[in-house]
Structure 1
């Protein structure tokens, strides 16, 4: 049986990876890729799908009720996967209003359009509204605390995480109040192809290649659980196909690393690649690796940001036990795939950089 999916934020990092993954797994399904194409939305992320049968790109804002409702009806959408979000914590600190508008108001508009489309007629239509959230809604963990679980108290500490917490609560409310068939997943830090280069992993990769400083907040001891983006897509697939309506599932990578160790690993891997590849030394002459020096020389410790949560970790026991999900990639294998992609796709990331 074929499905019709509306994917919001489809030209962003995780959304684009999900669209490509779903297209490979279910080529018979219709995909409507909706994106407002703000700074982190890049239509080039979906270029290989443009013009293919069953794929439709819609340049629209999730706050545009009429556009969303029309798309749901035009393509007989039965599954909505909601990735669209402002997601960079630093930007939320300097400009929180945009996060409230997109993450809170935008989610409410989507829920209302979905309710009208699926529940507004004489007989409800089979459907699923899947909301993609973050582990940051749970706050910060102590060094010896167990990972975040689905019943965890919400304690968001940044405007970004507070806006995502609000959207989680809206999704829950539309299920319990109106009967909308929803599910939610809260994921740990993602990395992989198409990652906009303001985030830690792609920022460090591209800065090493250009010989620019590698900024590390504080002493670099902040810990995150890292999830390869395609593993995240597999987790969402499990929730959509096997998950219980109304339930929340935490999707983690079982990979806790502190920020400094990640930066040092990236340095070590690129040092090694440059040492064995004259072509890389020719392509990226500004990198210290091209001169036989270590990328570690680029590390710079900078003032910690406001409200910087110290540790996030996911307890993914529920999705493992109930849906049989386990990540395929370790951080080491996922980083190698990420390096391969960025080195092969300089034409993608170079135009996104300010210098």
Structure 2
């Protein structure tokens, strides 16, 4: 029975991956460690927390900066997938210290444990982010695109990304770096743009769109992203270890077009759009070049934009009890360059 350790496995993407692995591999033992910060919840786990002590699944309430805990958990694992991170651009502007603590130092502690037990660890997958690239310098962004992080969050993830690479280069750990582009789907925190827009319609509020709404992102349905991570986790080592892989759809969508798609699907009323000032550290466009993922892994996303959006809207419409508890964190106050206080 292989053991897969998943850090941050109670967060949005981490829990999507946890449920994917739990359901797909009945002969695997899944171990999740999560600090249960505001973005993580035991409700996201594949089985109720009071049933977690069994042969197939266990949950540890803990932080990746706890070296002793991580050393213990990694020592019992065959594979490690590292999601744990603070992950919101706007929140990193408001309060950046925790981002460097968790994203950089936490990654160092996990990587140190993997290094210590590298003879038994088959694969260490580090989940980075497309935000490390900054604004695109080309129509699509391949893995060789220069790294130019434009927010404290992106800078912290960039530090972690390069730290993992250095541990592969220096110590030979079996690491792979994955740079997902924007994920969406059920159970995403209300601070993120798509669930914020969906719940705004449900609450009969106006949608807040930054600036002119033309900043654009590559969005991939979270389940597809997790399928790609699974494929990388199980690929032959000679194909993936020491490599970086983008995971995205290969298409970009402006924030304004996303707002329009959601309102057309939910209320057919574009009068609910509203514009506010641009967010500091704003990246204008991200489009993934996923040629390497297709070539090496043979993976392409299965869920198109509208199908994924329909599934996401249905989930939020039917799970108000889950998202109501996050209402107070939908907006973050920041001081703009002009000195004006704005909610983002």
- TM-score normalized with structure 1 length: 0.88
What do residues 257-304 of structure 1 show as CA deviations (whole Å, max 9, x unaligned)? Answer: 1000000100010126xxxxxxxxxxxxxxxxxxxxx2x222110010
Q: How does 1:1-355 map to 2 (within 5 A)?
A: 2-46=1-45, 48-50=47-49, 51=51, 53=54, 54-73=56-75, 76-116=76-116, 118-119=117-118, 124-141=119-136, 145-242=138-235, 243-271=239-267, 294=269, 296-354=270-328
CA distance in 1, matches of 2:2, 2:285: 38
Larger radius of gyration: 1
Q: Return 5+ residue gaps in structure 1 as ranges.
A: 273-293
C-alpha distance in structure 2 between counterparts of 1:237 and 1:47, whole Å:
17
Instruction: Note the C-alpha offset of 1:126.
Output: 4.1
8 Å CA contact retained: 1:190, 1:229:
yes
Q: 1:159 to 1:34 in 2, by over 3 A?
A: same
- In 1, the alpha carbon distance for the partners of 2:57 and 2:302 equals 28
Tell me if structure 2 keeps the 8 A contact 1:10–1:84: yes
Counterpart of 2:98 in 1: which secondary structure? helix
Q: Secondary structure at the match of 2:219?
A: strand
Verify the 8 A CA contact 1:111 1:171 in the aligned structure 2: yes
Report the secondary structure of 2:45's partner residue.
helix
Residues 114-156 of structure 1 show CA distances to partners (whole Å, capped at 9, x for unaligned) of 222x14xxxx2242110001111111025xx231111121111
Aligned Cα root-mean-square deviation (Å): 1.4
Contact 2:42 2:48 in 1 (8 A): no
Does the aligned pair in 2 maintain the 1:227–1:255 contact within 8 Å? no
TM-score, normalised to structure 2, is 0.91
Describe the superposition over 1:149-176 as per-residue Cα deviations: whole angstroms up to 9, x where unpaired.
1112111111111111110111011111
Distance 2:317 2:42 in 1: 20
Distance in structure 2 (CA, Å) of the matches to 1:204 and 1:44:
22
Which of the two has greater helix per residue? 1
- Per the alignment, in what secondary structure is the counterpart of residue 67 of structure 1? helix
| Unaligned stretches of 5+ residues in structure 2 | 330-344
CA contact (8 A) 1:255 1:330 kept: no
- Runs of 4+ in structure 1 deviating by more than 2 angstroms, as ranges, are 47-50
Give the Cα separation in 2 of the matches to 1:154 and 1:305.
20
- Give the corresponding residue for 2:335: none
Contact conserved, 1:49 with 1:55, CA < 8 A, in 2?
no
Specify the alignment match of 1:277 in structure 2: none
Separation in 1, partners of 2:32, 2:48: 10
Q: Comparing 250-259 with 47-56, which one deviates more in the overlay?
A: 47-56
Q: Number of residues paired by the alignment?
A: 323
Question: CA offsets, 1:291-329, max 9 Å, x none?
Answer: xxx2x2221100101121100111000010111100001
